[in-house]
Amino acid sequence: MMRIDKDNGVIEIGYVIFSNFLKKTRMATESVYLLIKYAFEDLGYRRVEWKCNNLNEASKRSALRFGFTFEGVFRQAAVIKGHNRDTAWFSMLDHEFMKIKPNFEAWLSVENFYPDGKQIASLDTKKK
């Protein structure tokens, strides 16, 4: 977690880097779910943010898959290695998490996976 703003109840997930072994696994999804759940339920935050380089399509897809809402792009938000970087912003609010939490829990259940670890149903975090 980073960019922690206790006064306003806002926290950012921070850098998420998975090894090739963990990418696209139940463990990876569960780790992000547990971070989000911890921020809302244990720490009492109102908003969780996900930010990434706007060129990082995989990170943007992940944010959407996990139920974050795309808010926009901050153009030239940073300079990285001498180059301008545009930052894509995503957020999830506490009441949104409560709506999609059952979807995460259903997806993470043992019954949703074949013995070889492959998922049976896709994770659906579209806000109801």
Q: Which domains does the chain have, with CATH numbers?
A: 2-112 (3.40.630.30)
The answer to whether the beta carbons of residues 109 and 102 sit under 8 Å apart is no
Residue range 27-39, pLDDT digits in tens = 999 999 999 999 9
What pLDDT digit, counting tens, does each position of 37-64 carry? 999 999 999 999 999 999 999 999 999 9
